[in-house]
Amino acid sequence: MRRRYSDFTLLRNLLCKFHPRYFIPPLPEKKIGGKRFKPNFIEKRMRILQIFMNEITCNETFKTNDALVSFLSMGDHNTFEKKMKELNSKSFNQNFEDIKTTEEAILEKLENGDQLTAEEMRANRRRLLEQRKLQLEGQISTETEAVPLTDVQTPTSSSENVESNSEEKKKDSVLIGFARIFSGTIREGQTVYVLGPKYDPMDPTKFCTQAKVDKLYLIMGKELEALTSVPAGNVFGIGGLEEAVLKNATLSSLTECPSLVNVNMKAPPIVRVAVEPYDPSDMPKLVEGLKLLNQADSCVEVLIQETGEHVIVTAGELHLERCLKDLREKYAKIGLHASDPIVPYRETLSNQPAINTNPFLEYSDDEDEENEEGNEEGENEQAKVKSKKNNLPIGTIIVSTSKNMCTIRIRAVPLPEKVTKYLVEQSETIKRIIEHYDNRKKNANTSNDEALEEQKEIKDKNERQKFLDELQKLFDESSDNVIDGNKQFWKDVVSKIWSFGSKRIGPNMLINNIPGYERTSWCAIGEKTEKESQEKISVKDFEGSINSGFQIATNSGPLCAEPMMGVCFILESFDINVDPENTDALSMSTLSGQVISTIKEGCNRAFLQWSPRLSLATYSCEIQATAEVLGKIYGVLSKRHARIYEEDLKEGTQFFQIKSLLPVIESFGFADEIRKRTSGAASPQLLFHGYIVLDQDPFWVPTTEEELEDLGEKADKENVAKKYMDSVRKRKGLFVDKKIVEHGEKQRTLKSK
């Protein structure tokens, strides 16, 4: 007999309807198109249909089903379709009786200790899961006897694997928040406002969402006990907020509630690795696993770089190992490949001029590009520029764009140490001021509530003015940082601030010192300057390009393309040698991009006029040990370039407390080495401290007679700063000044006779 595809569909639908607790094999997809009668398509469909028929005909329950009997016996399609409609019109009483009979048979076999079939095991497991669910919901008594899930025999058939995997996936994707209630009572099913860390009651439309509390739990070790309500003063678990809360939030029944203080992390994430799955098809699982990890761990950061890599940023080596283990075993459940740990650096300046052996000073002041179309006036201008360059202060550079359309003079000077530290600490304040300033510019003419906007503007002005006053005070106190012998070098410098960098919030500054050009103060609200005539091109037309070039330069320094720290760039002149009427439109359109690249190049060259330094991310290391193992501890610390700044004997004990600063790049394997050397008598505690300047020039080589006599021409003493710099440049694919072969000699091969 012949059967249509619709006959198979009717049969499967009826079987699913009459036996909802049994697994019915799927049917092949019904393709509609010109290729459905190709030999490959027909062969594939026949194979899947054969599997379908084998599964249902071998099942003892399905053999007596009227739908299957009619399918196998009736040859006419119309007769079969009529029979199926009659079966479909029957009530479900018979279906419930079959289910009841099956459950009674299973319970009878369990009481007698008889072996269950695979279908009966699956049915019994589903019954127990439903019974447990009803017990948790309180719909049935907990005194009902039930066989524990661990005692139920679970076969490894494909049908149960499909159901159990879907149930486990749903169960694993649930996160329970750890919460504390300060006032009132929270109840199950209540709708609350979720206030983010940046929520401001003055603007309740931002960082505020509504969510429903699904579950409340009493946390008792590994166990969770369901609750209907929780009064004030308790710590509890809360469910149903996965989509509303990222890491932490404040729950309130009113929008007038302020957001509580955010969780302060004493150990910010510093070590990052890129992760990827072994099987590229598991990428969706990795993305979902990273999302769960980011929500579950308040200290980890998950981000996607511009290259498309998925990066995990952790607090240290142990934290990294734990995150990767949880990602493999709990959240993503896939095989992962992690890159080598990446530790950030910072590039800064010292108060000393650059040494002559700097290989990056490849730009010569005498090697200016010649203008093929130049004239006598152009040659005279170049001669004047060259004469100026010979008498410039240290850190000052004069650069020009293509065809000398713009000539720019930039100077780089190191910021005082107190100012740099203050800018690092106040990065959140700077970010907040910039966000308010951008919002004012964007919503200047779209505000509805004028009184509220005026109140916000006054608050923002006070915060900005307080920050600038404190910054100027630190500049005035830094009398020891004298530039060019001028103690008044930093006087009123705050009023000339153009921008901070990198990313507009970093500890670097761009100062406007162009003669005759005054611009609005940094992030000033409501200040206006006199409008300049637009007939002639001025510096104001290139403000965005200048700021962009400064941001790019401070975000990627010349040493190893790491962000700068503690550098002040002063724009001393910006001359435009362009006549818009006599210049072609193409040159004018590309001038803005040329200014960006020229500013970036000028900042890097001015930076290299000073003796550069690398700032290392460091841990504060604390070790307690007895006097017998102090020598071994000192040996490990000195090997890893740690700085010991305190050593005390604890009163009333025989233990010495050693405190040191350990570079993060040297911390990998440090704890294991300490334990091995001391036979477990000492164990370090590491906490992120900040960035410490490594007072060593990465370009230093012995040059004087004393240095050559002590160290030799090869300088056997390793330059640690150069080693760090070269490792980062090699990882990023940059040029590395390294001799592969020092002395090339002809090889002499002696044959053994």
Q: 65-79, 522-536, 684-698, 707-721 — which is least confidently predicted?
A: 522-536
**Cα–Cα distance between 570 and 392 in angstroms, integer?**
14
Q: 93-102, 104-113, 198-207, 258-267 — which is least confidently predicted?
A: 93-102
User: Exposed, middle or buried: residue 492 (CB in 10 Å: 0-12, 13-18, 19+)?
Assistant: exposed
Given CA atoms 301, 305, 311, 314 in this order, what sign does their dihedral have? negative
> How high does pLDDT run on average in the chain?
78
Q: Do domains 173-252 and 271-342 have the same CATH topology?
A: no
Rounded to the nearest angstrom, the gap between the alpha carbon of residue 142 and the centroid of all alpha carbons in its chain is: 46
Question: Measuring CA to CA, which residue among 90, 78, 80, 77 is closest to residue 17?
Answer: 90
The predicted-structure confidence for 548-607, as pLDDT tens digits, reads as follows 999 999 999 999 999 999 999 999 999 888 776 666 666 677 888 899 999 999 999 999
Question: Measuring CA to CA, which residue among 682, 640, 631 is closest to residue 661?
Answer: 640
Rounded to the nearest angstrom, the gap between the alpha carbon of residue 374 and the centroid of all alpha carbons in its chain is: 51
Asked if the bond preceding 252 is cis, omega within 30° of 0, the reply is no
Alpha carbon separation from 600 to 274, 401, 450, 597 (Å, rounded): 29, 12, 42, 5
- pLDDT category at 391 given cuts 50, 70, 90 is confident
What percent of the chain is modeled with pLDDT above 70?
A: 75
Question: Measuring CA to CA, which residue among 256, 204, 196, 200 is closest to residue 460?
Answer: 200
The predicted-structure confidence for 149-205, as pLDDT tens digits, reads as follows 333 333 333 333 434 444 444 455 678 888 999 999 999 999 999 988 888 887 788
DSSP 536-579: S--GGGGHHHHHHHHHHHHHS-TTTS--B-SEEEEEEEEEE---
Q: What is the DSSP letter of 327?
A: I
Question: What is the per-residue pLDDT for 371?
Answer: 43
If you search the block for the tokens 């991009």, which residue do you land on? 593
The predicted-structure confidence for 459-484, as pLDDT tens digits, reads as follows 778 888 899 999 989 988 876 667 76
User: Exposed, middle or buried: residue 560 (CB in 10 Å: 0-12, 13-18, 19+)?
Assistant: buried
> Is residue 137 over pLDDT 80?
no
**Cα–Cα distance between 67 and 496 in angstroms, integer?**
87
For the record, the structure tokens of 500 come out as 């901070």
User: Exposed, middle or buried: residue 698 (CB in 10 Å: 0-12, 13-18, 19+)?
Assistant: buried
**Cα–Cα distance between 302 and 293 in angstroms, integer?**
8
If you search the block for the tokens 């505020």, which residue do you land on? 208
- Higher-confidence residue of 240 and 105: namely 240
Alpha carbon separation from 525 to 426, 436, 438, 456, 544 (Å, rounded): 20, 9, 10, 11, 18
**Cα–Cα distance between 416 and 298 in angstroms, integer?**
34
* Neighbouring C-alpha atoms within 13 Å toward the C-beta of 601: 17
> Is residue 642 over pLDDT 50?
yes
CATH architecture of the domain formed by 173-252:
Beta Barrel (2.40)
What percent of the chain is modeled with pLDDT above 90?
A: 25
The predicted-structure confidence for 606-623, as pLDDT tens digits, reads as follows 999 898 999 999 999 999
Q: What is the DSSP letter of 2?
A: -
Q: 133-142, 400-409, 454-463, 572-581 — which is least confidently predicted?
A: 133-142
For the record, the structure tokens of 193 come out as 């406002």
Assign 3-class secondary structure to 250-275.
EEECCCCCCCCCCCCCCCCCCEEEEE
For the record, the structure tokens of 611 come out as 């003796």
Given CA atoms 169, 173, 174, 176 in this order, what sign does their dihedral have? positive
- pLDDT category at 128 given cuts 50, 70, 90 is confident
Assigned CATH topology for domain 406-527+536-607: Ribosomal Protein S5; domain 2 (3.30.230)
- Higher-confidence residue of 72 and 211: namely 211
The stretch 241-267 carries a mean pLDDT of: 80
The CATH number of 612-732 is 3.30.70.240
Q: Is 658 within 8 Å of 648 (Cβ atoms)?
A: no
Domain ranges of the chain: 5-90, 95-170, 173-252, 271-342, 406-527+536-607, 612-732
- Amino acid in position 103: E
C-alpha dihedral over 367, 368, 374, 376, to 10 degrees? -80
**Cα–Cα distance between 538 and 540 in angstroms, integer?**
5
Question: What is the per-residue pLDDT for 133?
Answer: 66
**Cα–Cα distance between 661 and 729 in angstroms, integer?**
25
Q: How far apart are the first and last CA of the chain?
A: 89
Residue 336 pairs in a beta bridge with 277
Question: What is the per-residue pLDDT for 152?
Answer: 32
> Is residue 740 over pLDDT 50?
yes
> Is residue 374 over pLDDT 50?
no
Question: What is the per-residue pLDDT for 398?
Answer: 92
Which runs of E-coded beta strand occur in 132-175?
Answer: none
The predicted-structure confidence for 270-290, as pLDDT tens digits, reads as follows 899 999 999 889 999 999 999
Q: What is the DSSP letter of 342?
A: B
The predicted-structure confidence for 500-549, as pLDDT tens digits, reads as follows 988 888 899 999 988 888 888 887 765 544 444 455 678 888 888 999 99
Q: What is the DSSP letter of 328?
A: I
Q: Is 529 within 8 Å of 515 (Cβ atoms)?
A: no
Assigned CATH topology for domain 271-342: Alpha-Beta Plaits (3.30.70)
Q: Is 509 within 8 Å of 415 (Cβ atoms)?
A: yes
* Neighbouring C-alpha atoms within 13 Å toward the C-beta of 685: 8
> Is residue 49 over pLDDT 90?
no
**Cα–Cα distance between 214 and 205 in angstroms, integer?**
24
User: Exposed, middle or buried: residue 398 (CB in 10 Å: 0-12, 13-18, 19+)?
Assistant: buried
Q: What angle do CA 351, 352, 358 make, to 5 degrees?
A: 130
**Cα–Cα distance between 575 and 515 in angstroms, integer?**
11
**Cα–Cα distance between 561 and 82 in angstroms, integer?**
77
Question: What is the per-residue pLDDT for 177?
Answer: 87
Question: What is the per-residue pLDDT for 12?
Answer: 77
For the record, the structure tokens of 244 come out as 């509303």
The stretch 736-745 carries a mean pLDDT of: 68
Q: Is 564 within 8 Å of 540 (Cβ atoms)?
A: no
φ/ψ of 416, rounded to 5, equals -60, 150
Assigned CATH topology for domain 5-90: PX Domain (3.30.1520)
- Coil, strand or helix at 747: coil
Q: Is 648 within 8 Å of 621 (Cβ atoms)?
A: no
